[in-house]
Amino acid sequence: MENVTGNSSRVFEGHYSDLGDWKRGDVDYFVVPQRWEDYTEEEHAIWRDLYHRQMEILPGRAISLFMDNLKELGINDSQIPDFDEVNKVLMKKTGWKIVGVPGPIPVEPFFELLANRMFPVGTFIRTRDQFDYIQEPDVFHDLFGHVPILADPVFADYIEAYGRGGLKAADHNAVYMIGRLYWYTVEFGLIQEPEGLRIYGAGILSSPTESVFSLDSDSPNRVKFDVKRLLRSRFFIDDFQDTYHVIENFEELFEATKPDFLPYYEEVRELPTIQPTELIDSDIVLHKGTGEYAKKAAENRAARKKQKQEAAEKADK
Ligand SMILES: [Fe+2]
């Protein structure tokens, strides 16, 4: 696997579907204490190094509110932040709080936390060996990537509405569709600011390589955000995006979650899935990608698949 994405949420993949005794209404079921005092010096040092690496890249690339909110929330290079301290500011700003989780949690409890204005943050931090790539969202991805954006009041409302929509989607076998909306906005969204294109997606903000690729590379498409289009849009979890979806402002996102999605789901079920590299007639294309990187990535994926198959065949003999 190429060490490219830095981090990505696997929450919609269904790999972590063990619900245990969880039932709707058990909002705290997967919540664990952060135990801040248990972090080692080395873990704080890893945070510091990750923080510095992103800070060399993000000024002028991250959405303008990002730097201010980091500072205001007390998220800095000194140490892994204490959730209680962050919450003192975050609660005042948007009524949201962050809660600790041991790792990725199943989708329905995840949606339920969001619907209750609680954002789950992995309490662990990656090791030095995982410095460039980790699949499970750790404290750096969750706290550094997501929380500064969550301190924006409109975005905060969007995520709550998303959580409520997610629970409804779970009742209608549509989690895979609404998961795509999360992926291409909360994790990998771009925003058009007056000064230029900027990043607001946490999957990009916590990845040094995708922070550059998403804005500077000629390879990916960049299209205007369209919620129904996103419900149809497949993604790969372990590589850069082939298409980025660009919003004008957070109001646009929040407005998009207002309609009842049930008719959308019915409509989308009848339509073909849109592949990551694909553009469709209704797209407002801001940049038509060369697809050069996507081609290479597809070759790598095919090679990995072949390797896996060969290894499995060998093991069978
Ligand atoms: Fe995430």
- Supply the pLDDT for residue 88: 98
Alpha carbon distance 87, 297 (integer Å): 40
- pLDDT band at 6; cut points 50, 70, 90: very low
Asked if residue 9 lies in contact with residue 203, where contact means CB atoms within 8 angstroms, the answer is yes
Per the prediction, the chain carries an average pLDDT of: 92
Q: Can you read off the two tokens belonging to residue 193?
A: 């600011």
In contact, 15 and 250? CB cutoff 8 Å: no
Does residue 1 lie in a domain region?
A: no
Note whether residue 254 is domain-resident.
yes
Tell me how far the alpha carbon of residue 23 lies from the centroid of ligand 1, in angstroms.
Answer: 23
Total tally of structural domains belonging to the chain: 1
The alpha carbon of residue 65 and the mean position of all alpha carbons in its chain are separated, in whole angstroms, by 18
Residue type at 53? R
Asked if the model's pLDDT at residue 43 lies above 70, the reply is yes
Instruction: Output the CA 312–ligand 1 centroid distance in Å.
Output: 32
pLDDT of 17 > 80? The answer is no
* pLDDT of residue 14 exceeding 70: no
Report the CATH number that the domain containing residue 103 is assigned in CATH: 1.10.800.10
Tell me how far the alpha carbon of residue 316 lies from the centroid of ligand 1, in angstroms: 37
Distance 10 CA to ligand 1 centre (A): 8
How far apart CA 41 and CA 80 sit, in angstroms, is 10
Write the pLDDT tens digit of every residue in 121-148: 999 999 999 988 888 899 999 999 999 9
Reply yes or no on whether the pLDDT at 52 is more than 90: yes
Mark residue 100 as left, alpha or beta (left: phi above 0; alpha: psi -120 to 50; beta: remaining).
beta
Q: Distance between CA atoms of 30 and 123, rounded to whole angstroms?
A: 12
9 — pLDDT class (breaks 50, 70, 90): very low
Distance from Cα 51 to the centre of ligand 1, integer Å: 16
**Percent of the chain predicted with pLDDT > 90:** 83
Distance 138 CA to ligand 1 centre (A): 9
> Per the domain annotation, does 312 fall within a domain?
yes
* 121 C-alpha to ligand 1 centroid (Å): 9
Tell me which residue range forms the domain holding 236: 6-316
- Full DSSP string of 43-65: HHHHHHHHHHHHHHH-TTTB-TH
Distance 99 CA to ligand 1 centre (A): 14
Q: 122 CA to middle of ligand 1, Å?
A: 10
